[in-house]
A and B are shown apart, each in its own frame.
Chain A
């Protein structure tokens, strides 16, 4: 069956499609979250160095990964919107930002609560922590710039520029632990080597990563639907939806 992808590039049909996807991803997110937390707290054993404190990893790592990944996705959509002047792409970027910022905040927060008992400090200005903090400011900068400009199309363009410039920060965050001496340890899971985590712990963490993916997709789709409605309120298809009482 051939799917006409161009059809979904229009806000009207994407609105309907996204509406169908939100419940699906919500259920997946909740299911994976329950499994992940169960493995994390009841199946995964205690750690040889860090005792029970290491269980923060089950939210810290998913949050940190999502914070970087969502930024890249946001910048891609913003860039596509800027280059091809497609309304929907820019709306996607706008919808991703708050969720990305939330995950960045959580990565910093949980990291701080983890650093205090293990390292002996809430915060250090090492390259990993500093670059992650800069990521939070990039998200906040993107959102406040968009909020400050009344014309949505101009807001999209201005936001896209911040988003694209800020992408440089992502490899800096990722490789900071290799490029510089940092207090933060190296990656436990990476592409080119075997994970340095016991497999049960790793499974729990990966399930939590999947859960946060599903959560992000559900929340972002839900938000983009609202943004579509707000921005397309003058169009015929929204009027049609209103008439049907389908909002």
Chain B
């Protein structure tokens, strides 16, 4: 075992800032990559799923509601597209 105490572990022989600065930023990068991907997937499947649900329903008074739903989805889709492209730029 290299360390006799936690404070010694965090100090890293005086190089704590450099060592933990490396590991922390790595953690942040990896977490955000995973998060961005799963968000992209969630929005995609949600969009597809909802559009599918609205089809085939014959209730006419719901039609208006569905149409507005689809409209808002289209807007959402565009914002998703924008978000995913900014994700790629940031990366």
Asked if the two chains touch in their complex, CB atoms less than 8 Å apart, one says: yes
> Interface size for chain A: under 10, 10 to 19, 20 to 34, or 35 or more residues?
35 or more
Question: DSSP majority for the B interface?
Answer: helix
A101 CB within 8 Å of chain B: yes
The answer to whether A113 touches B2, judged by C-beta atoms less than 8 angstroms apart, is no
The answer to whether B15 touches A51, judged by C-beta atoms less than 8 angstroms apart, is yes
The answer to whether A56 touches B49, judged by C-beta atoms less than 8 angstroms apart, is no
**Partner among A53, A102, A147, A229 whose Cβ is within 8 Å of the Cβ of B13:** A53
| Chain A residue nearest to B8 in the complex (CB) | A52
A143–B89 CA distance with the chains assembled, in angstroms = 7
B22 CB within 8 Å of chain A: yes
A105 CB within 8 Å of chain B: yes
Instruction: Tell me the B21-65 residues at the A interface (CB within 8 Å).
Output: 21-23, 25-26, 29-30, 33-34, 37-38, 40-41, 44-45, 48-49, 52
The answer to whether A109 touches B22, judged by C-beta atoms less than 8 angstroms apart, is yes
The answer to whether A106 touches B26, judged by C-beta atoms less than 8 angstroms apart, is yes
| Chain B residue nearest to A53 in the complex (CB) | B15
A 88-124 to B, binary, CB cutoff 8 A, 1 in contact else 0: 0000000001110110011001100110110000000
The answer to whether A113 touches B44, judged by C-beta atoms less than 8 angstroms apart, is no
A 110-153 to B, binary, CB cutoff 8 A, 1 in contact else 0: 10011011000000000000000000000110011011000000
Instruction: Tell me the A39-61 residues at the B interface (CB within 8 Å).
Output: 41-42, 44-46, 51-53, 55-56, 59-60
The answer to whether B19 touches A53, judged by C-beta atoms less than 8 angstroms apart, is yes
> Interface size for chain B: under 10, 10 to 19, 20 to 34, or 35 or more residues?
20 to 34
Q: Which residues of chain A are within 8 angstroms of B25 by Cβ–Cβ distance?
A: 106, 109-110
A97–B44 CA distance with the chains assembled, in angstroms = 20
**Partner among A59, A101, A102, A226 whose Cβ is within 8 Å of the Cβ of B40:** A226
Q: Which residues of chain A are within 8 angstroms of B26 by Cβ–Cβ distance?
A: 59, 63, 106, 110
Q: Which residues of chain A are within 8 angstroms of B45 by Cβ–Cβ distance?
A: 247
Residue from B17, B19, B23 having most chain A Cβ neighbours under 10 A: B19
Residue from B3, B23, B26, B89 having most chain A Cβ neighbours under 10 A: B26
The answer to whether A102 touches B12, judged by C-beta atoms less than 8 angstroms apart, is no
The answer to whether B18 touches A59, judged by C-beta atoms less than 8 angstroms apart, is no
The answer to whether A60 touches B91, judged by C-beta atoms less than 8 angstroms apart, is no
A238–B44 CA distance with the chains assembled, in angstroms = 12
A242 CB within 8 Å of chain B: yes
The answer to whether B15 touches A41, judged by C-beta atoms less than 8 angstroms apart, is no
- Closest CB of chain B to A51's CB: distance in Å? 5
**Partner among B13, B17, B34, B38 whose Cβ is within 8 Å of the Cβ of A46:** B13
